Each structure stands twice: as structure tokens, then as C-alpha cells.
Amino acid sequence: MLVGYLALAWLAGSALHLDTSRFYLLFAILAVLGIGGAVVFVWFWSKLRPQSGGGAGASGVSGRDDEIDSLVRDAEGRLASSNLAQGLS
């Protein structure tokens, strides 16, 4: 994808019929912008993907959800059995 972008940047400079120094300046600016955008994209994409370390894999997300569900059910049970909740019923 990045190579295609760089090829288009090269062709854009050629299509504008710029002299050598301006052509390379335009290509350098477009290349830096493209490489910077690719780095930012890969960085965000790696943050959004679940980490596959320690054998957790895709079940790590499910395991966290199960733990949260368990904690919520436990908290609801304690609230239902509290003295204040029994006095309101």
C-alpha cells in the first residue's frame, strides 16, 4: 500500500513537469507524509488488536467479560441481601 502511494507521489511530480529540485522536494514531502501516516495507522491498529501473549489470544477478551459479569452478579447479590434493600421492600 505504501509503495503504491510512493509510486503515485512520483507520478504526480512527473505529471506536473517540475524541475529536478522541486520534483524531489515535492516527492520528499509527500513521502514523509505517507510514511508518517502509515506509521500512525500501524500504531493505532496494533493498539486496537487484542494482544496475543501468554496463550490468552481471542479468549482473553471473553475471559475478561466473564469476570466482569461475575463481579456484577456478585455485587447485585450483595445489594439485594443488604439491610437497606430489605428495609425498602
Confidence of residue 48 (pLDDT cuts 50, 70, 90): confident
Q: Is the pLDDT of residue 53 over 60?
A: no
Confidence of residue 22 (pLDDT cuts 50, 70, 90): very high
- My answer on whether 41 and 1 are in the same domain is yes
- My answer on whether 29 and 62 are in the same domain is no
What does each C-alpha distance from 43 to 23, 38, 62, 64 come to in angstroms?
Answer: 30, 8, 24, 24
- My answer on whether 39 and 79 are in the same domain is no
- My answer on whether 45 and 30 are in the same domain is yes
- State pTM to two decimals: 0.53
- Between 64 and 24, whose confidence is greater? 24
Q: Which of 33, 1, 27, 28 is nearest to 12 (CA)?
A: 27
Q: Is the pLDDT of residue 47 over 60?
A: yes
| Cα 7–chain centre separation | 26
| Confidence (pLDDT) at 79 | 84
Q: Is the pLDDT of residue 58 over 70?
A: no
How many CA atoms does the CB half-sphere of 27 hold within 13 Å?
Answer: 19
d(CA 53, CA 69): 23
| Confidence (pLDDT) at 7 | 94
Domain span at residue 4 reads 1-49
